[in-house]
Each structure stands twice: as C-alpha cells, then as structure tokens.
A = this chain, B = another copy of it.
Amino acid sequence: MPLLVMKFGGTSVATLDRIRRAAKRVGREVANGYDVIVIVSAMSGKTNELVGWVNETSPFYDAREYDAVVSSGENVTAGLMALTLQEMDIPARSWQGWQVPLKTTSAHGAARIEEIPTENMMGRFEAGMKVAVVAGFQGISPEGRITTLGRGGSDTTAVAFAAAFGAERCDIYTDVDGVYTTDPRITSKARKLDRIAFEEMLELASLGAKVLQTRSVELAMRYQVKLRVLSSFGESDDQAGTLVCAEEDIMESNVVAGVAYSRDEAKMTLISVADRPGIAAAIFGPLAEGGVNVDMIVQNISEEGRTDMTFSCPVDQVKRAERAMTEARSRGEIEFADLVADTEVAKVSVVGIGMRSHAGVAAQMFKSLRDENINIKVITTSEIKISVLIDRKYMELAVQALHDVFGLDKAA
C-alpha cells in the first residue's frame, strides 16, 4: 500500500473544528488508497503557554524538565486527531514519541533524531490500520527521558517519518499555501512557486522564511523526500502548494528563485584590532560562547598591523556581543579601540540555484540597489545566494526592486 506523511501545524489543529477539517483531508487520501502517517503539532498557542510557564518557573531551567512539559501539547492533538478519524470510521490510533519509539540524542530542547523503528507501525498498517497519528516535535533519549526537537520540530518529525517509511511524499499543511518568491506583505507581485530546490529552500528557511524548519529541509534533501508545502485552509482539494524537490526535478526555473529578508539585524564593528594570526578565533570564540549568532563577517584591509572587523548578528543580541567583547578584552585575549554597533540595518538576499550557471547576478543586484540609491554596508555570497546588509528603512524598497529586476513575478 503506498504511504503518505501528512503534517498539520498548530493553526491547522487549533480547534476541534479545524482538527475535523484536517481529518477530512486525511480521509480523502485514505479514500485514494493511501496508508497515512499524520504528524500533529500542538494547538496553536499551547506550546508558547507551556514555554512561558517553564521560563517563569525557572529562567535557567533543566532542559529535561522543559522537554517533559512542553511536549504535552502534541499528545493532546494526537489523541484528538485519532478520535476524530475513528468517528469517520477510519481505523486510526495515536502514538507519542516514546511509544514509536522515536529515538533521539540527549540534546534536550534541540535533540536530533537517531532512529525510527518501523516494524511495529508497519505491522499495524498490515493488520488494517489506515492512519497512524504521531505527536510531533518529541522523542525519547537513550536515558529514557522525553526530548524535543526545537521549535518547528514537527516538520522534522514528518520528514524523518517519510524517510524511514519510504513515503511517496511528505505534505506539510500550514497557514500559507506554499513558498513565495518573496513575502507577499512586501510586494503584491510575490508569486507562489510550483517547485523549489532543496538547496534554495534551505537558504530561504535559514534566512527567516518561516515556512519550514531548516533541519526538516536538510533531512528531506539527504533522503530525497518529496516535500510539499500547502495550506490547510484552502477550499479546493487540488491546491498544489509548492513542491520542495531535487534540482533535477525542476525543468525550468528562474535564475533567482526568491528574495528573502531579515529585518532585525545589527552590524557591529571592532575598530583597530591587532591583525595577527588567530585574531578571528579570539573574537568569534567568545561571541559563540556568549550566545551570539554571528551571521556575516567582513575583515577590512589591514593598515600598519591594525584592522577593523565587522560582523552582523540579530539586533537583540547586541548587548551580549558587547559584554562578550568587553570581557575578552579585560582577560587580555583581544585588543580593540572601540566597538561600534549599528542597530538599524536589515539583510536582503537573493537565492537561486540558477546562479551557479549564470554569471552577473551579483552585478545586476548591486546595480539595481544603486539605481534606488541604497547603500550596501556588507556583502556576503555563497554558491546560490547573495546577501547584503542595508539601512533598515530601505528594506522594503530593496526587496521590491530586486523582485522586479529578476522578473520573479513571471514564471520561468
């Protein structure tokens, strides 16, 4: 029997009525002849409530207890989904992570999946069960404690099940109807993509397009799981969403697939750092230990043995970065004249696998920004991405200009 994985996010199971609507979608796939593994998130808001309680109880909490508490929301929706399917005369049962058992590392709060045994569940399918409902986001550590996979972890649960069971496809039902060329709130010309390559989706996810958890895309890429993002709110049944797939499954594509942005960035510059071997490690080691997620890094040309070192990080980590650098200086590990923070910047990126074979994308991007009189503060590039840091007030303008210049409103 062919098998599908269907994942429903928090807004798709937020009420009993929405659970019923989700169950109807599952029922249609069962009627189409599929066995289905359904992965559910907690009702929207529930996990935040539980996280809030943990933080209020214990600011520096024991992550094992955090996991025990915050995983409970998914248990509720898994049971309710199974009951809803049973009411529709579809043989179904729920599994909690430890019952599968979905085995993970002991990295509580951000555990990685190690193994999903399939025999037990496959036996149930063979015995006539049509739907296995699995509580997403959770697993069990080698020590027998409950673990969670990090925010958005139910996406990763879904892809991992699809990989383990060789599912035909993994459908992620969410509150958007697919992946867009850019945020539709910034330009009405944003267009839903029919297909996007894993690599592109990875860059977009890590750039803050909150459609899929980054790790779920990595996993799908590694195991070549066909991943589809679609809305659980659309009325029509044959809404196609966006298929995230291997590059070779995309016949034609624009050079640039999408324009992403990250609004709340900060640019920090260490002035007059001694330009010596090991200086980068002396700076970025303490920043990492201090919990600062450094993104872009630029080192200026050295003059007389001194250089300026610029990096970017989320704007709410500026205080931590300042403390980490000040402490490193007082320990004698680094020297610098000043630390200057620009907290009014944003990052804009263009992403596309087509860049690999098309030269001139960077030149076109910089020209387009120059035409809008937008000053570029920092540039970084990867094989399929070009990112720039600009003044935050120009962010929307830049996104719109780049969306136009790369013709993203038109299909390839």
Contacts and interface: CB of A to CB of B under 8 A. Distances in A.
Interface of A: 16, 19, 50, 53-54, 56-58, 61-62, 64-66, 68-69, 71-73, 75-76, 78-80, 82-84, 86-87, 93-94, 96, 98-99, 144-146
A62 B75 contact: no
Contacts of A82: 62, 65, 68
B16 A53 contact: yes
B96 A83 contact: no
Contacts of A86: 58, 61-62, 65
Closest 8 A/B residue pairs (Cβ)? A69-B79, A68-B79, A58-B83, A72-B72, A65-B79, A72-B75, A57-B83, A65-B83
Given A65-B79, A68-B75, 13 more contacts: A16-B56, A50-B76, A57-B80, A58-B87, A61-B86, A62-B82, A62-B86, A65-B93, A65-B94, A68-B78, A68-B79, A72-B73, A72-B75
Contacts of A69: 75-76, 79-80, 83
Contacts of A84: 57-58
**Which residue of A16, A19, A61, A80 has the most chain B CB atoms within 10 A of its CB atom?**
A80
B54 A66 contact: no
Contacts of A16: 53, 56-57
A83 B54 contact: yes
A247 B150 CA distance: 55
24 contacts: A16-B53, A16-B56, A53-B80, A54-B83, A57-B80, A57-B84, A57-B87, A58-B87, A61-B83, A61-B86, A64-B93, A65-B79, A65-B82, A65-B83, A65-B93, A65-B94, A68-B78, A69-B75, A69-B76, A69-B80, A71-B75, A96-B146, A98-B98, A99-B145
